[in-house]
Structure 1
Amino acid sequence: MELLAEAAADRGLPVRAAEDLATASGPEAHPAHPARPAHWYGGPIAGARLADRLGFALLEPTDDWLAELPSEFTGREIRSATVADARAIDRPTFVKPPREKSFPAAVYSHGSQLPADLDPATPVLLSEVVTFAAEYRLFLLDGEIATAGRYAAHGRLDPRPLTTEGPELQEFVTHLLATTGPTLPSAVVLDLGQLLHPYRPGHRWSVVEANMAWFSHAYTADPARVLDVVLRAAGPRDRVSPADLPFIRH
C-alpha cells in the first residue's frame, strides 16, 4: 500500500486513508469531483462502503471463473460449491473462498476442520491438491501483462523479480484469453504457477486464481505499473467500459 501511495504521489494524486474519510464531515467527506475522481486500493468491506459515496466502481472476476476454466488451463479438478458441501469432504482438498478472505485458503484433510462459524451457504472453491514449483502474480491491463513477479516457491512465500519467465507467461495469457474470451475484467490480477507433474519431470503453466487488482499485494511488481491497473480496476463508475459492466462488484 505504501509503494502504491508513493507511486500515486509521484503523479500528483492525493492519497487519503479510508479511516480519514469515514470520520470526515463537510467538504472533506466528499473529496472526489469530476476534475479529481476517486479510486480505491484496499479491502472489499471498506471499498463497498465508500463506493457509492465517492463514485467509484470495483471490478472483480466472477466467483465461478476458475471453476469454469477448461482443464488445459488449470491442470486440476476445481468445482464451485458451498461451505455445506465442503464440510462433507473426507479426503484432502484445497478449499478457498472465491473472493473475500473469510477463512484461510488451505488444504483441509476433512471438512470438519473448516471454521465452525461459517455460514453453510458461503460460496467456496474445492480443488484437487497439487504442487506448484513457483507461483507468479500478473497485473493485466487489456489482456497484456502490465507488470509481474514471482511471489512463492514450493508453497512458501518467496518474492523475486521476473528473470526469463516473461515471454512464457505472456504466451500463456494470450492463449488463455483467446480461448476463453472476455471472461475477466480489463484490469485484473492473474496468478499463474508452474504445476509439477507427479510422474514426469518438468512442469506446465497453470492458472492458480484470478483476483481483484485493488486488493492484491504487488510483491516485486513495478508499483507504477500496478497503479495503472488499480486505477482502471477501481475508478469512476461513469468511466467503466460496457465490456467491464458485468464485473462491477455489487
Structure 2
Amino acid sequence: MTTPVPDADFLVLPPRLDSTAKLLAGSARRRGMAVEQLPSPVVPDRLRHAVGGHLYGGPTFAGTVAVDLDLALLEPTDDWLTRLPYEYTRRDITFTTLGEARWSRTPMFVKPPRDKTLTAGVYADGSRLPGNERYPADPPVLVSEIVTFLAEYRLFVLDATVHTVSRYATNGRLDPAPLDVCPYRATVLDFAANLLDACADSLPGAVVVDVGLVSNPDRGDEYWAVVEANMAWFSTSYAANPDRVLDVVLRAAGPRHRLASRDQTFIRRSGG
C-alpha cells in the first residue's frame, strides 16, 4: 500500500474487507488515492498528520478512526422517516424506544434507526422483542406497520441528486442488479427525484436512501415508498457503480475542515 503524503486524499478501510470495501479500494486506486487497510481501529502515527483522510467501515471502527483523523461522519437523523410526508412512507412509523415497543400487543416491524444493534424484522407483538438483559440502555427503535416490498432499490445521493442506484432485493430476497436492467428504472428515478426535491434539507449532502415498490393486497394496488435512510460510509453498494459510490462515500466521511456548513447538523455524535 502507498503511504499517503500529508496533503493528499487517502481512503482508510477496516481490518476485514467486505465486497463493497474491495470495490471502493479499487476505485480509489484508479483515481490515484492511497488506500490504507488498518489491522485495528488504531490510526498509525504516520497518518495522524495527513489532512485528506476518508473512510469506509462499520460504526465502531469509523468512530475511533474519525476522531484520530478529524473526520466528519455524516448520517441522517434517527427520526427522519417519521418526519417524512405520508405520501413518501405510506405507512405509520413511530420513533420510540425498545422498552416502549415491548408494550405493543399488535404485529409490527421493528428496526434500529441506524446502527444494526437489533435485528430488524417482523414481531408478532412486543413480548417477542429481545429482553432488557441484552439491551440495558433501552435503545431507540423505529416501529412501523407491516408492508410487503416487491422490489427494493438503494440510492446513493449526492447534493440531493441520485448519483448511482442498485436494486438490492425482490420479494424480500437479496437480488442485486444494476438499475439499467430493471423494469422499474423510470419510476424509481421519478419517485426519487420527487422525494429528494421535497426533503433535501432534511438529509445530509451525501447519504444512502432505500426505496421500494409496495404491494397492498387489501386494496389491490401497488405504490412506491421510502424504506429507510443510512450512512453512505457503511452501506453495501450491491450493483451500483463503484466509482460513483466512492464519490458519495468520500463526502460522507471526509475531513472535517472541508465540511459544507449545511451538513454541520448531520455529523455523527462521538460514540453514537
* 1:4 corresponding residue in structure 2: 24
Q: Contact (CA 8 Å) 1:93, 1:126: kept in 2 or not?
A: yes
* 1:192 corresponding residue in structure 2: 211
Deviation track 1:119-170 (CA, whole Å, cap 9, x = no partner) reads 3531000010000100000101111111111101111111122134333223
Could you tell me how far 1:231 is from its partner in structure 2? 0.3
Q: Contact (CA 8 Å) 2:29, 2:35: kept in 1 or not?
A: yes
5-14 or 235-244: which moved more? Answer: 5-14
Q: Classify 1:225/1:156 alpha carbon distance in 2 versus 1 (closer, same or farther; 3 Å).
A: same
Correspondence 1:106-125 to 2 at 5 A: 106-116=121-131, 117-119=134-136, 121-125=138-142
Could you tell me how far 1:180 is from its partner in structure 2? 2.9
Percent identity of equivalent pairs: 49
* 2:113 corresponding residue in structure 1: 98
Number of aligned residue pairs = 245
Q: Contact (CA 8 Å) 2:55, 2:233: kept in 1 or not?
A: yes
Contiguous gaps of at least 5 residues in structure 1:
none
Q: Contact (CA 8 Å) 2:167, 2:178: kept in 1 or not?
A: yes
Question: 2 CA distance for matches of 1:80 and 1:21?
Answer: 31
Q: Contact (CA 8 Å) 1:8, 1:14: kept in 2 or not?
A: yes
Question: 2 CA distance for matches of 1:243 and 1:224?
Answer: 25
148-157 or 109-118: which moved more? Answer: 109-118
Correspondence 1:1-250 to 2 at 5 A: 1-20=21-40, 22=42, 24=44, 26-28=45-47, 30=48, 33-34=50-51, 37-116=52-131, 117-119=134-136, 121-162=138-179, 163=181, 164-250=183-269
Q: Classify 1:95/1:16 alpha carbon distance in 2 versus 1 (closer, same or farther; 3 Å).
A: same
Question: 2 CA distance for matches of 1:115 and 1:19?
Answer: 33
3-state secondary structure, aligned to 1:27: helix
Q: Contact (CA 8 Å) 2:41, 2:64: kept in 1 or not?
A: no
3-state secondary structure, aligned to 2:39: helix
Contiguous gaps of at least 5 residues in structure 2:
1-20
3-state secondary structure, aligned to 1:179: helix
Aligned residue type for 1:121: D
Could you tell me how far 1:23 is from its partner in structure 2? 6.8
Aligned residue type for 2:31: R
Flag the structure with more relative contact order, 1 or 2, with Cα contacts below 8 A and sequence separation at least 6: 1
Question: 2 CA distance for matches of 1:120 and 1:6?
Answer: 39
Question: 1 CA distance for matches of 2:212 and 2:168?
Answer: 10
Could you tell me how far 1:81 is from its partner in structure 2? 0.4
Deviation track 1:24-58 (CA, whole Å, cap 9, x = no partner) reads 3x425x2x523xx1001001111111112112110
Question: 2 CA distance for matches of 1:166 and 1:183?
Answer: 25
Q: TM-score, normalised by structure 1?
A: 0.93
Q: Classify 1:218/1:181 alpha carbon distance in 2 versus 1 (closer, same or farther; 3 Å).
A: closer
Q: Contact (CA 8 Å) 1:143, 1:173: kept in 2 or not?
A: no
